[in-house]
Amino acid sequence: MLEELSIQNYALIDRLTVRFSEGLNVLTGETGAGKSILVGSLSLLHGARGDTGTIRSGTEEARVAGTFQISGNRDATAWLEGRGIETDDGVLIVRRTVKRSGRGAIYVQSTPVTRRELSELASLVFDIHGQHEHQSLLSEESHRTVLDRFGGLEESAAGLQREFAELSALRKRFEHMESNERQRLREVDILQFAISEIEEAGLRPDEEETLDGERRMLSQHEKLFAALDELHDAVAENRGGALSQLRNARSAMEVVASIDDRLADAGRRLEDLFFELEDVSEVVRDHRNSIQFSPERLEQVEGRLALIHRLEKKYGATVEEVLAYCAEAKAQVEGFETWEEDKEKLRAEIRGREQELLKHAGELSVARKRAAEKLSARVLESILVLGMPKTRFVVAVEQRRGANGRTSCGPHGMDAIEFRISANPGEPLRPLAAIASGGELSRVMLAIKSALAHDDQIGCMVFDEVDAGIGGEVAVSVGEHLYHLARTRQILCITHLASIASRADNHIRVQKMEKSGRTVTEATPVTGETRVDEIARMLAGDRTGAASRNHAEELLRKNTAVGG
């Protein structure tokens, strides 16, 4: 339950603290006094988006804090424990700041949280039901949501929605495979041609470098032969070659060394040089004799290099890259070859998922129908005591039909769920949207909310002007219903009706006042004569008239006597 609400610099509120009690807490006051401002501040604690326009003029930030007692609320306690947040003997404090800069802060106890997290927690602690929710009841989607919540089927419905999304993804993948079949065949042909072309070439990784060297030699054979002849003549012993000169030098060195042994080492080096040059001469001679020029071989080499360059231009910058492309192409072709097999596996998986989805949807549909019977009975029970004794109410669960008239399963199952009502005897059941009376719609909403509150752990329910469009005996029955609902949970209700306000366990009057030249909203509990004044004002707009005060006293006395 909400124990205390503190507000600062919010709309017309300068600084205000309101304390609430167990049971039925009623807020009353003139139109425009600021009752809805209190609900707006509570909406901030419920996770609503902060509006800088609600910050009191002349200030930079608005602050709202709520103190809740959540002992016994297992869901809220589990949420807090999951985030390492502890309460103080079940006391939970939520604070929120809205700054004019657009930034703000949210704290649960002393832990900062996001607005989404606040919304999650608040939904487990208290509910706010405003007039706009009357209209939401006209949406069939909200009917499904209400039924699933009532029947404890939200998790099952969410699971089915995930299954449907996964199945849809598989179907799209299958469609993509089918639509790309022609492209796949074209790609296979291209890859197979490339593989055949590369494999027929029989490339070797080091082949290009070897062929380049052989081409240089063959294309410059005349120059090569001339240079080899010149080289051989230069080192040979004949015709004054280097070897002939060295041989003469050896002879002279032998004479010198025999006379002056200091040149013996130089003589040995000269002799080594002679033998080394002699070996070079033989190598040059043998190489010259081994070379044979073949125009046919040059043509073969150039043709082979042209083939390699053509393949490199198409498939890679080097022979290694061409061979790597070939290996990758083979892997892709192998993958394409399993395409039909993959397609059949996917088709089988889709069939299996469809069967699982239909089974899940069927089980959910059976559970919804059972829940619909209970919800129909519980809502009708509340509607009857809310002044609609001849009403029939049914939560209809029927099969969804596709364009072909067959049963259709969508992301929310195979059910079309609709709230139907007949407010008058002899009239057929019609969709809730057919209700013309705002008062009837308000009572149906209250009945549905009461039915939902029967089994959940939420300790506080806030009703913003649930009495819209009603009066007289209906207002009396609504007051009784709220009072009895408040025996099991805390109710906060904004009302303009004395028959509801007179039932309050805690009556709070909201009024505008002028302080220091500025308008402010204040909220104070009213008891005794002050409460009589307020009830009289609500009855006749006259706090001082004897008739209105007598009527107010009688109404309070009557409701107190019956437990109100």
| Per-block mean pLDDT, blocks of 10 residues, the chain (564 long) | 93 90 92 84 90 88 94 89 90 94 90 92 84 64 87 93 94 83 78 87 83 68 62 66 74 77 83 81 72 69 82 87 88 76 88 94 96 93 82 92 82 93 86 71 78 76 76 81 88 90 92 83 90 89 79 86 52
Query: What pLDDT score was predicted for residue 111?
Result: 94
How far apart (Å, rounded) are the C-alpha atoms in residues 133 and 386?
18
Query: What pLDDT score was predicted for residue 355?
Result: 94
How far apart (Å, rounded) are the C-alpha atoms in residues 466 and 528?
26
Query: With contact defined as beta carbons under 8 Å apart, do 533 and 54 qualify?
Result: no
DSSP 8-state code for residue 496: S
CA distance to 161, 414, 415, per residue, from 402 (Å): 18, 10, 12
Query: What pLDDT score was predicted for residue 264?
Result: 81
Query: What pLDDT score was predicted for residue 161?
Result: 94
Query: What pLDDT score was predicted for residue 436?
Result: 53
Candidates 41, 45, 47; CA nearest to 14 is 41
How far apart (Å, rounded) are the C-alpha atoms in residues 85 and 83?
6
How far apart (Å, rounded) are the C-alpha atoms in residues 226 and 223?
5
Query: What pLDDT score was predicted for residue 292?
Result: 64
Query: What pLDDT score was predicted for residue 466?
Result: 73
Homologous superfamily in CATH for domain 1-130+465-525:
P-loop containing nucleotide triphosphate hydrolases (3.40.50.300)
How far apart (Å, rounded) are the C-alpha atoms in residues 33 and 56?
15
Task: Give the pair of three-digit tokens for residue 458.
Answer: 């939420």
Domain ranges for the chain, please list them. 1-130+465-525, 185-337, 528-564
State if pTM tops 0.75. no
Query: What pLDDT score was predicted for residue 386?
Result: 81
How many Cβ atoms from other residues are within 10 Å of residue 94's Cβ? 21
